[in-house]
Amino acid sequence: MTASDSPMSVRKYAKLAALGAVGVSLGVFALYALIAVGSRHTASGGIDPTEAAVTWISAAVPCAAIIAAHLAYVKVLLAESKKPG
């Protein structure tokens, strides 16, 4: 039995998995936005502008990597779902 013959074919759930990967990307972006808003410099408190910028950059790098990986996975899954059979 090959992978294309199995009853649990990847193609059957590829669009749903792609939608889930898009959801993860949006969720990570929302989490980054929450971190950015929570760490901004305000006149009545918060952290200084330098530390805020360091926080934004240090949070943006892993968030961007996670989002890029999931969007690449979306591309692969959608290509797989469009194959005939």
Domain-located, residue 77: yes
Q: Is residue 13 part of a domain?
A: no
Beta-carbon contacts of residue 74 (< 8 Å; ≥ 6 apart): 18, 21, 22, 25
- Number of domains making up the chain: 1
Q: How far apart are CA 4 and CA 77, in angstroms?
A: 15
- Residue 9 counted as domain residue: no
Whether residue 20 is contained in a domain is answered as no
Tell me if 36 is assigned to some domain.
yes
Neighbouring-strand partners of residue 42? 45
Within a domain: residue 34?
yes
Residue type, 65: A
pLDDT in tens, 29-77: 999 999 999 888 888 877 888 998 999 999 999 999 999 999 999 999 9
Please indicate, yes or no, if residue 81 is contained in any of the structural domains: yes
In a domain, 10, yes or no: no
pLDDT at 31: 96
- Which domain covers residue 41, as residue numbers? 29-85
